[in-house]
Amino acid sequence: MDLNLTAEEQQFRDELRAWLATHTPRNWEHRRDEPAEAHFAFLCQWQRTLYEGGWAGISWPGEYGGRGASLMQQVLFWQEMALAGAPPMANILGLGLVGPTIIAFGTEAQKTRYLRKILSAEEIWCQGFSEPNAGSDLASLQTEARRDGDHYVVNGQKVWTSYGWAADWCELVVRTDPAAPKHKGLTVLLVDMRSPGVEVRPLRQMTGETEFNEVFFRDVRVPIENRVGNENQGWDVAIGTLMHERGTFGAALQITYKRSIDRLIELSRTVQRNGRPAADDPVIRQKLAQCYAEVEIMRANQMRAFSRISETGVPGPEGSIQKIWWSELNQRMQQIAQELLGPYGQLEGLDPRAVDHGAWSYGYLRARGNTIEAGTSEVQRNIIGHFVLGLPRSY
């Protein structure tokens, strides 16, 4: 892999850097204290600004609103967003999971109907995979859809549906053939969250947020043209989505992690330990340097993952390596912040002593979910053991 930028890539980077310098919102982080709806509306507006500037969907096809650029340029995009300290985009599941799934498996009509509105954040998406008794073993899911003329009728329950409260649409995995072996009777549907019979109940997390939700489906009618791929072949589509989640999702997180390590270093200069700046403490210095190196490794691994996708068109099981890496790294960084801050690390909100408006308290609590969402660390290690190392299956 050649890590030097081509002339075209350099031009792309310079153009983007100049654009971000004039358009990136400043001092936006305190907005996390706003009500969730107001904060989400701000992130939607930011995504819309990016879209209108031609900076959403860098590697998506131009005819569906993307920029039609290379995956390398997509990587550069995330790097430049991180450097500029830009806010994340609102439609994270639409951009990272649903869009790539529709591009890979959707019909022409679906691509035309949905992709552009994902990029502009006009339509927000959620992912309806997990159920109360189907998480790691996703293929055990029970939400069913039966055919009724030119519709499916959906009944069942999903859980941990991130942004379900904000979503206009859901990529839903349902069971269409209860008699078939569990991986063979599944189908993927695109469901309008405003359909009669859809009920969203927010779940409060230990961070105090209600990022995820329970979603109930009672006789929800979904037109057949909203099916992605063939009936009963939804497992392949769902796995495609999960591979994107694991292989490419980390790219967006580079923004957050680069900012976290920079802030940690800054924090170590301002907080005291044994009467001196914590940055003077050799143990703290070791830990910070280790994390800095690990953030750089994450960036290099992401490039390797993208390099593979450019060669094969799909993310590989190596995405599981990246998933373990980013999730466990974030937990380590959050732990160091708590060590630096001591009891102040528990302060939230606008208390002047709550460094970064309580972002470290929030970050520590939210990071616990990182090694569960998108497949737990144990499941990722099983995938690496089997598909990368060729070890026997775990079950």
Ligand X SMILES: Cc1cc2nc3c(=O)[nH]c(=O)nc-3n(C[C@H](O)[C@H](O)[C@H](O)COP(=O)(O)OP(=O)(O)OC[C@H]3O[C@@H](n4cnc5c(N)ncnc54)[C@H](O)[C@@H]3O)c2cc1C
Rg of the chain over all Cα atoms, to the nearest angstrom: 21
* Least distance to ligand X, CB of residue 298, Å: 19
Q: Which residue's CB is nearer to ligand X, number 202 or number 369? A: 369
* CB 161, min distance to ligand X, A: 5
Pairing state between β 186-192 and 272-273: unpaired
- For ligand X, the nearest residue by Cβ is 135
- List the end-to-end C-alpha distance of the chain, in Å, as a whole number: 36
Q: How far is the CB of 340 from ligand X (least distance, A)?
A: 25
Whichever of 187 and 268 has its CB closer to ligand X, that residue is 187
**Residue with Cβ nearer ligand X (214 or 280):** 214
Of the pair 157, 161, the CB lying nearest ligand X is at 161
| Short-list 171, 153, 152, CA closest to 215 | 171
* 29 given a catalytic annotation: no
Q: Which residues bind ligand X (CB under 6 A)?
A: 126-130, 135-136, 160-162, 212, 369, 372-373, 375-376, 378-379, 382, 394-395
User: Catalytic pick from 211, 245, 294, 318?
Assistant: 245
Give the per-residue SS3 of 107-171: CHHHHHHHHHHHHCCCCCEEEECCECCECCCHHHCCCEEEEECCEEEEEEEECCCCCCCCCCEEE
The CA distance from 116 to 121, in Å, is 9
Do the beta carbons of residue 91 and residue 125 sit within 8 Å? Answer: yes
CB of 93 vs ligand X, minimal distance in Å: 6
Q: Least distance to ligand X from the beta carbon of 85, Å?
A: 24
* HEC secondary structure over 195-225: CCCEEEEECCCCCCCCCCEEEEEEEEEEEHH
Residues acting as catalytic residues = 245
